Chains A and B, each alone.
Chain A
Amino acid sequence: MSDARADASPAGRRRAGRARTRLVLGVLLADARRHRLVFLTTLLGVAVGIAVVVAIRLSSQAALESFRGTFVSLTGRATHQLTAIEPMDPARLLELRRAPGVLAVDPVVAATLVVPAASPEAEREAAHRIRPVLSDARGPRALRLVGIDPFQAGPFLELDAEALGEAADGRLFERMMCEPGLVAADRSTLASLGLPDGGDLHVEGPHGPLVLHAVAIDEPRLAAGNPPFLLADIATAQDALGLGDRVLRYDLVLDGDGSDLPLRKGERLDRPERRGERADTMTEAFRTNLQCLGFLAVLVGAFLAFNMAQFAVTRRRTLLGRLRCLGCPGRDLVRGVLAEAALLGVAGGVLGVAGGALLARGMVADVALTVSTLYGPTDGVPVPHLDAVTAAAAIGVGVLATVAASVLPARAAGRVAPIAVAQGASRDGPAPAWLPLLLLALGVLSLVPSGSAAILPAISVLCVLLATATAMPRLLGFVVRHLPRGPVTSLAAGRIERTLGRTGAAAGALVMPLAMTVAIVVMVDSFRAEVSTWTDAVLGADVYAKPLHLELAPETAALSPELVAEFEALPEVLAVDRLRLWEDPRRAPFLVAGARLEMIKRRGSLRVLEGPPLDVIVPRLLDGEALVSEPLANRRGLHPGDTLVLPGRDGDAPVTVAAVFQDFSFDRGYVLLSEDEFVRRLGEIPVRSAALLLREGEDPAALADALAARHPDVEFTTVARLRDEVMAAFHDTFAITWVLAGISTALALVGIVTALLCLHLERRHELGVLRALGARLSVVLRMLAVEAAVIMGTAALAALPAGLALAWILVAVVNTRSFGWSFPMAVDPQALLLLSAMALGASLVAVAVPWTLVRRTPPARLLETRR
C-alpha cells in the first residue's frame, strides 16, 4: 500500500493533507445529512440572501435599461452625433459631407409619438397618475419614430439584410421614400398594437392626431428599444413632427475624435455612447442605494451562516474530537469546515440565483415604478434577464459570505481538543470587544470625505450595521447579567449566557434589518413631512394644465399658444403662469425652466433656502439672473452671486445665481429663468404646462372639469389633486425600499427562529431535566418566553439608537450627496411602534416553534437527546 505516510516530501504531505480534508468533509457532510433541518435552514438563509441581491440586480438592471432605452436611440454605427438646441438646417448635410475627417453623414429626425389608449377611461386613468409610465395594453403607448435618409443611412443602420429584403416585398426603402406616412416596425410591435402588416396606425403627434401606414419587418432590434422604434423616411418624420425640412440631429462616422470639425454656434458634437453613460450617471445613486439594501440581505444571510457554522462546530465538538483522537490535524478540520461552508455557499448561490431570477419578475414592477418616479418614463413593465456574469457573481458572493462567516468557527473547530469526545457542548464567547468599535470608527471615518456621492455613505451605513450586530453578544451578556434572578429567569439567562456567541449572532442578524427599518421609517417620514410642507408652499396656482401625454412623449408634448391664450381670456382667471422646459442630458445634466413668475409674484410660491427676499429676487430674475434648485446648488457648490454656464442656441453663456430654492421634483436639479430670459437663451420652446391663478371665490374643480370637457387632449388638475399626486409619487419612490426592507426582516426572522430552534435542539435535554424535576409546561413556556424577550428586547433596544444614527446618515449625508435634498430629521413614534411590533412578532414566532416541539415531546424523550 503506497500510503501518504510513506511520502514525506512536501508534495506528498500536501496530497495527504488534501486527502484528509476530503475525508473530514465527507464526515461533516454525513453529519449534515443527519441534521437535515439545520442544514436546509442555513441553505435557505444563504439562498434567500443571494436571491434578494440577484433579484435587485436583475430588476433594477431591467428597469434602468428600460429607462436607458428611452435615452439611447437607434445610433447604429455612428461614431458621433451633432446636435443643437433647435432643429438644424438641412444645408448642414452638404457642409458636413465636405468637412475633413467625415466618412459618412446621416440626417436624423427622431421623436416620440403616442398611441392613444384603447378607451377614453384608460386614457384618463393613466393621465391621472403623475407619472403614467407603466402603461399596460389598455393604456397609452409610446413609439419612437426615427426618420432616416435611405440614401445616407447605409453606413449607420445595423438592420438585418435578409429582413430588409423581405419587408414590403423587398422594396421597403423605395416605398418609404415614395409613400408619405409609411413606417416600418418589427412584427412583434405591430402585434402588440393589434395591427396587421400594412395596417393603419393612429398616433398623437405634436400637432394632433396622425395616421401612419405600418408595414412589418422581422427585425427584433427595432422592438428592443424602449419605446419600440418606427422606421420612416426622413420626410415622413419631418411631416409628422411639423419640422418642415429641418432635422433634429446628424449622425456621423468620423475618422478621428472630431476635434477639427467646424461647428456652428450652439452646436454640440457628442459620442453616442456617452448618452448612455449619462443615463448611468443619473441613476448611479439609485443603483448604489438599491445594491446596499440588497447587500443588507446578504449580510443577514452571512450572519445566519456564521451562526449556523458556529452552532455546527459546537454541536459537533464530540465528532471533531473523535477525528482529532483518530489523528486528524487541526488545520485539516479547519479546511474541512471551510470546504463545507464553500459547498453551502455554492448550493445557496445556485438556489439563490434561480430564486432571484423568479423574484426579479415579481419585483421589477416596483423597481420600475421607483425608477420612473425618480428619473422619468419607462414604457411597460421591463422583463429581467439572467446573465452569466450576474449568476457567477452571485454564486461568488454566496461562497465568499459563507466562507468568511465560517472562518472563526472553523478556527474554533481546529482547536477542539481530542478530549472533547468526553465533553458536551461548550460555552462560546462573543466577538472581540474592539471589533464593533473598529467598525464604528470606520463608519464615522467614511463620512468625512465629502466628495463621494453614494459609496462612502453606503459603507458608513454598512459599518454602523455591522458594528451594532457584532456588539450584540456583549450587549446580550450585559442584559442577562442584570436580569432579576428568579428560577425561570436564571435558567433563561443561563442558557443565553452559555451560548452568547451564537445567540448574539442570531440577535445580530435580527438587529440589522430592525435598525434599517427604523432608519428608513424615520427618513421617509421626515422626507414626507418636508415634501408635504413644500407642496403646500410651492403649489400656488389653483388649476394646472399639461398635455395628456406629457410623460410618454415629453419632447413633443406641448400646450398650443392658442390654448394658453384661451386660458388667459377666461373670466375666472386672474393670471396664467406658463412653464417652458428645456432638457438635453447631452448638453447639461440639469433642466432649464422658464416661467412668467406669476405664482412667485402673486402668491409667493417659492421656498428660498439661500438668497434675498422674494421682492428682491423677482426683479433680479427679470433682469436675467437665475434661481437654482437645491440639488443643483449642492452638487455644483453654487451660492447666490455665483455664475453657472447654461447651454443656449447661440452657445454656452453664464448666468448669475440670484437665490437657491427648495425643490424635490428633480434630483438632477434645475435652473429657473424668467420666461423672457429663457426664450432669449433657448428660443421659443413650446409651453410645457400652465398654472392658472383664479380670481377670489372661483371654484377650481368646476373650472378644471369644464376645461377638461372642452380639451380632451389636455389634463387639468386642481391643486388639491396635484398635491395628492405628488404624495402618491412620493410613495412610489419608496416602493422598492419597503419591499427590500421587508425581505431582509423576514429573512432575519427566519434566522432568529432557526437560531433559537438550533439552541433549543442543542440544549433540549436541559428541558428534559427540568421536566423530570417537575417543571410544568407553563414553566418551560415562561422560560422560552423570557429567553426570546431578552434576545428580541435587546435587539430592539440596540436597533433604536443604531436606526436613528443610520437615519441621520440617510437624511443628512446620503440624501444630500446623492439627491441634493436636505430636510430636518423628525422622529415619529410610528417608528418605535413598528419596531416594537416587529420585535413582538419575532418573539412570538421564536417562542412558538420550540414551544410546540417541547409540548409534543414526552419528558423521557427530551432526556434521551443528550446521549
Chain B
Amino acid sequence: MNPPSVAAACRLVRKVYGRGETAAVALDGVDVALRSGEMVALTGPSGSGKSTLLHLLGAMDVPDAGEVEVAGRILGALDDEDASAFRNRHVGFVFQFFHLIESLTAVENVALPARLLGLAEPDANARALDLLRRVGVAQLSERFPDQLSGGQRQRVAVARALVNDPVLVLADEPTGNLDHAAGGEVLELLATLGKERDVAILVATHDPLVTRRADREIRLLDGKVVAPS
C-alpha cells in the first residue's frame, strides 16, 4: 500500500487585509499539509483565520506571501479563468448555510459542477443520482432546496462537493446549522466518503464532535498554527 499522498499544502502563507494602521493579519506564516483520505478539523476562535485559509486552499483568494499547493498546482499563479476551472475540477465545498441554488432541484444542484465541467446532462444527472443515493436522499432528488430539511440539504451539499471527484473538500462549519443528530450523520458521511474516495477533507469548525471525529486537528490562533488544546 502506497503512503497517502499530499493533497494540499500551505507553505509559510501570509495574508493581510487592509493597509497601514487598519491592516489586519489574517494568516501569518501558516505551514500545513493535508493528505489524501484524511479528515482534518480546523479549529480556532472567530477571527483566527479559518475562513481565510479555506478561501486560499479553495483558489478563491491569493496569499500575500508563501505558497498554496493543491493537487500539485501552485494556486497563486492561476488567473481567474484557471482558478475557476481548478476549483470546479479539484475542490469541493460544503457550507454552513448549504448554499444550494434554490431554483434548482436536488439532483440539478448536485449535477451542476459536473455540467460546468462539461458533462452531458444525462451523464451528470446519473453521477448526481448515484451520489444522492450514496448520501441517502435519492428519493428527494426532484425536490427543491426549500422542500428539504436542514440535514437533507447538507447531504445534498456533500454530494455536490464530491460530484467531480475532487482531491480536496473544504467544509465551513458543516454542522453549524444542524441539530446534533443530523450534524453527526453529515459528519459521518463526509468522513466515510472521504476515505472511500481518497479525498482530503478540511473542516473549519467550533464543534467538538467534529474535532473528535477528525483524524487530526489544526488549531489557528491569531493567524498562526498552534498546538491543539
Contact A490 B104 (CB under 8 A): yes
Contact A772 B115 (CB under 8 A): no
Give the Cβ gap from A166 to chain B, nearest Cβ, in Å.
73
Contacts of B102 in A (CB 8 A): 494, 498, 766
B55 within 8 A of A: yes
Whole-angstrom distance between the alpha carbons of A769 and B96 in the complex?
12
Extra contacts besides A770-B112, A860-B60 (15): CB < 8 Å: A491-B101, A491-B104, A769-B99, A769-B100, A772-B99, A773-B87, A773-B113, A774-B87, A775-B88, A776-B80, A776-B84, A776-B85, A858-B60, A858-B61, A863-B95
Contact B86 A765 (CB under 8 A): no
Closest chain A residue, CB of each to CB of B177: A422
The residues of A with any CB-CB pair to B shorter than 8 Å are 485-487, 490-491, 493-495, 497-498, 765-766, 768-779, 858-860, 863, 866-867
Contacts of A867 in B (CB 8 A): 97
Contact B103 A779 (CB under 8 A): no
Binary contact readout B79-95 vs A (1 if CB under 8 angstroms, 0 otherwise): 01100111111010101
Contact A777 B84 (CB under 8 A): yes
Contacts of B91 in A (CB 8 A): 774
Give the Cβ gap from B81 to chain A, nearest Cβ, in Å.
6
Contact of A774 among B51, B61, B88, B103 (CB under 8 A): B88
Contact B99 A765 (CB under 8 A): yes
Give the Cβ gap from B28 to chain A, nearest Cβ, in Å.
19
Within 8 A of A (CB), among B189-222: none
Q: A497-B103, A766-B101 are in contact. Are A773 and B88 (CB under 8 A)?
A: yes
Contact B89 A774 (CB under 8 A): yes
Whole-angstrom distance between the alpha carbons of A491 and B86 in the complex?
21
Whole-angstrom distance between the alpha carbons of A494 and B212 in the complex?
40
Closest chain B residue, CB of each to CB of A492: B103
Contacts of A766 in B (CB 8 A): 99, 101-102
B117 within 8 A of A: yes
Give the Cβ gap from A515 to chain B, nearest Cβ, in Å.
29
Contacts of A765 in B (CB 8 A): 99
Give the Cβ gap from A782 to chain B, nearest Cβ, in Å.
11
Give the Cβ gap from A28 to chain B, nearest Cβ, in Å.
25
Contact B60 A772 (CB under 8 A): yes
Give the Cβ gap from B101 to chain A, nearest Cβ, in Å.
6
Contacts of B160 in A (CB 8 A): 773
B226 within 8 A of A: no
**B: interface residue count bin:** 20 to 34
Whole-angstrom distance between the alpha carbons of A775 and B112 in the complex?
9
Contact A487 B115 (CB under 8 A): yes
Contact A776 B81 (CB under 8 A): yes
B38 within 8 A of A: no
Within 8 A of A (CB), among B53-73: 55, 58, 60-61
Contacts of A776 in B (CB 8 A): 80-81, 84-85
Contact of B108 among A490, A498, A771 (CB under 8 A): A490
Within 8 A of A (CB), among B6-21: none
**Could you list 15 examples of A-B contacts with CB < 8 Å?**
A494-B101, A494-B104, A497-B103, A766-B99, A766-B101, A768-B99, A769-B99, A773-B93, A774-B91, A774-B113, A778-B81, A858-B60, A859-B60, A860-B51, A867-B97
Give the Cβ gap from A167 to chain B, nearest Cβ, in Å.
75
Whole-angstrom distance between the alpha carbons of A272 and B99 in the complex?
76
Whole-angstrom distance between the alpha carbons of A765 and B95 in the complex?
12
Contact B103 A487 (CB under 8 A): no
Contacts of A772 in B (CB 8 A): 58, 60, 87, 93, 99
Whole-angstrom distance between the alpha carbons of A858 and B60 in the complex?
7
Give the Cβ gap from B36 to chain A, nearest Cβ, in Å.
20
B148 within 8 A of A: no
Binary contact readout B94-130 vs A (1 if CB under 8 angstroms, 0 otherwise): 0101011111100010001101110001000000000
| Residue among A498, A863, A867 with max Cβ neighbours from chain B (10 Å) | A863
Give the Cβ gap from A489 to chain B, nearest Cβ, in Å.
11
Contacts of A768 in B (CB 8 A): 99
Whole-angstrom distance between the alpha carbons of A498 and B100 in the complex?
14
Whole-angstrom distance between the alpha carbons of A497 and B146 in the complex?
14
Contact B112 A773 (CB under 8 A): yes
Contact B101 A775 (CB under 8 A): no
Whole-angstrom distance between the alpha carbons of A863 and B60 in the complex?
10
Closest chain A residue, CB of each to CB of B172: A863
Contacts of A491 in B (CB 8 A): 101, 103-104
Contacts of B88 in A (CB 8 A): 773-775
Whole-angstrom distance between the alpha carbons of A771 and B85 in the complex?
10
Whole-angstrom distance between the alpha carbons of A296 and B89 in the complex?
52
